[in-house]
Amino acid sequence: MDIEQLKQWMELAQKYQSGNFWDTIFDQYMTPPNQTAHHHRDTHSNAHTNTMEQNVDEHTNEPRTNNGSAFPPVDIFVTETQITVIIELPGLRKEDIQLSLSGNQLLIKGTHKVPIVSDSTLLNERRYGKFERMIELPEPAQSKDIQARFEDGLLLVIYPRKYSQHEKINIL
pLDDT digit string, tens, across residues 79-128? 999 999 999 999 899 999 999 999 899 999 999 888 888 888 888 888 88
In a domain, 78, yes or no: yes
Residues 107 and 144 in one domain: yes
In a domain, 136, yes or no: yes
Q: Which amino acid is at 32?
A: P
On whether residue 169 sits in a domain, the answer given is: no
Same domain, 19 and 48: no
Q: What is the CATH classification number for the domain harbouring 148?
A: 2.60.40.790
Q: Answer yes or no: do 71 and 148 share one domain.
A: yes
- 172 within some domain: no
Coil, helix or strand for 102? Answer: strand
Residue 168 has pLDDT above 60, yes or no: yes
Q: What percent of the chain has pLDDT over 70?
A: 61
The pLDDT of residue 124 is 85
**Contact call for residues 155 and 86 (beta carbons, < 8 A):** yes
Q: Do 17 and 88 sit in the same domain of this protein?
A: no
Domain hosting 1: range is 1-39
- Do residue 86 and residue 55 come from a single domain? yes
In a domain, 68, yes or no: yes
Residues 106 and 23 in one domain: no
Percentage of the chain beyond pLDDT 90 is 39
Distance CA 47, CA 127 (A): 15
Q: Are 30 and 52 members of one domain?
A: no
Q: Is residue 28 domain-shared with residue 49, that is, in the same domain?
A: no
- Cβ atoms within 10 Å, residue 58: 10
| Same domain flag for 48 and 20 | no
Q: Which region among 5-9, 51-55, 104-108 has the lowest average model confidence (pLDDT)?
A: 51-55
Mark whether 49 and 9 lie in a shared domain.
no
57 and 131: one domain? Answer: yes
Contacts of 72 (CB under 8 A, 6+ apart): 63, 87, 88, 89, 108, 131, 133
Number of domains within the chain:
2
Instruction: Indicate if 111 and 152 belong to the same structural domain.
Output: yes
Interatomic CA distance for residues 69 and 171, integer angstroms: 45
Establish if 167 belongs to a structural domain: no
Q: What does the CA dihedral 135, 36, 53, 88 come to, rounded to 10 degrees?
A: 30
End-to-end Cα spacing for the chain: 80
140 is a domain residue = yes
Whole-number CA gyration radius for the chain: 21
The answer as to whether 171 is a domain residue is no
DSSP 161: -
Instruction: List CB contacts of 45: < 8 A, sequence separation 6 or more.
Output: 52, 114, 121, 124, 128
